[in-house]
Structure 1
Amino acid sequence: MSAVRFIARPLLGSSFVIAGASKLKNADDTAEQLSPVLRRAADALPVQVDEKLLARAVGATQLGAGVLFALGKVPRLSASVLALTSALNTFVEWRSADISTPTGRDARRSGLLKNLSLLGGVLLASVDTNGHPSLAWRAQNIASDAAKAGRRQLAGAEKGIAEAQKGTSKALRKASRKAQRSVRSVAKDARSAASDVFA
């Protein structure tokens, strides 16, 4: 792990760890804030789930993913989970912010920018390959190598066919010359025999 990643991951993850711990500690407030989203999620689930329990689950997920990301354990997966929770936080905070005063509107805008910045950071982290080629690059490279190998094999096969054709034509010309010599030899022997008979 590079020094930048070693420093940046805990810095980025700390915000999510603190937010997740706060959500767990204040599950009632979290459930109230998340209520519109959680109601829809609870309705979509096949079993009845308490909103407070879902709020705790969101907080625990954010806390766990933040800790894993800060420690550099499964960083891409934990960053992807953090991106989902960050998108949820952005929506909920934007929707529940007080906009009745200019100060409230400024706070709403600042909160939105902060949340979008965090979302951008974890989205970048979710595609960070830690200096290793990505799976897409590896697959593309393998496909390119296979195509090159196929072209080489095809060129070799075409060369072999051309040589076989060349060798076949040489063999045919050689057999033709041999047959012509044989025919001339037989004709010569026949003339010689005929001249002996008629002499």
Structure 2
Amino acid sequence: MSLLRVVGRPMLASMFLAGGLESVRNPREVAPAAEPVVRPLVDRVPVLPDSTEQAVRLSGAVQIAAGLLLAVGRMPRPAALALAATLVPTTLAGHRFWEEEDPGRRAQQRIHFLKNLSMLGGLLIAADDTGAAPSLLWRSRHAAHDLRRDARLVQRSLRAGARPASAVGRVRAALPR
């Protein structure tokens, strides 16, 4: 594993571990800001808890679990996708800069929104990172290519073996019995 992955994954995960712990410990502080985003999600996804506080806790728990997995390099691709899935509603709930009236607070919220957008980009890159090992898609394409090549070789060898056998059969048929 590359040194950049060993160092970079825990660094990327650190924000989610800290934020997830805070969400699990104190969901009441985040719940009012999360309400406008959680309510439509709960209406569309029936498996989510009805309570905004419980949804915030669930998101925090996912961030802790996926953050730990990403930090230690276990299942980093699914962990990065899980973190990305929690980051979108968190960003939309917590950094609604377009609703701020005060220019200073608007600028601060815009910075946090863009920071989260940058982290989302890093998570998407981590989710696509195969760690220098070929992806399943690449492996399947190359396996199919190898099978086609092997089938052509078998076909050619059968044809090559059939030609002399065919010639022998013609000669035998022409000989008197």
State the TM-score bracket (shorter-chain normalisation).
Answer: 0.7 to 0.9
Tell me the equivalent position of 2:123. Answer: 122
Which stretch of structure 1 is more off in the superposition, 91-100 or 25-34? 91-100
1:87 and 2:85 correspond: no
Which stretch of structure 1 is more off in the superposition, 134-143 or 24-33? 24-33
**Runs of 4 or more above 4 Å deviation:** none
Counterparts in 2 of 1:130 and 1:110: CA distance versus 1, 3 Å = same
Give, in angstroms, the shift of residue 40 of structure 1.
2.6
Instruction: Report Cα offsets for 1:51-92 as digits up to 9, x if no partner.
Output: 211111111111221122112122112111011011222222
Alignment of 1:1-199 (within 5 A): 1-43=1-43, 44-45=45-46, 49-95=50-96, 98-173=99-174, 175=175, 178=176
Counterparts in 2 of 1:96 and 1:31: CA distance versus 1, 3 Å = farther
Counterparts in 2 of 1:74 and 1:135: CA distance versus 1, 3 Å = same
| Structure 2 gap ranges (5+) | none
Give, in angstroms, the shift of residue 99 of structure 1.
2.3
Instruction: Report Cα offsets for 1:120-169 as digits up to 9, x if no partner.
Output: 11111112122211111111111011000100011112222222222222
Number of aligned residue pairs: give it: 176
Q: Could you tell me whether the CA contact under 8 Å between 2:66 and 2:79 is conserved in 1? A: yes
Partner Cα distance (1:46, 1:145) in 2: 43
Partner Cα distance (1:126, 1:93) in 2: 24
Identity of aligned residues (%): 32
Partner Cα distance (2:112, 2:153) in 1: 58
Give TM-score, length-normalised by structure 2.
0.88
Counterparts in 2 of 1:11 and 1:153: CA distance versus 1, 3 Å = same
| Structure 1 gap ranges (5+) | 180-199
Alignment RMSD (CA, Å): 2.1
Partner Cα distance (2:8, 2:131) in 1: 13
Partner Cα distance (2:25, 2:81) in 1: 24
Give TM-score, length-normalised by structure 1.
0.79
Partner Cα distance (2:63, 2:112) in 1: 18
Which is higher, the Rg of structure 1 or of structure 2?
A: 1
- Name the amino acid aligned to 2:109: R
Higher RCO structure (Cα 8 Å, ≥6 apart): 2
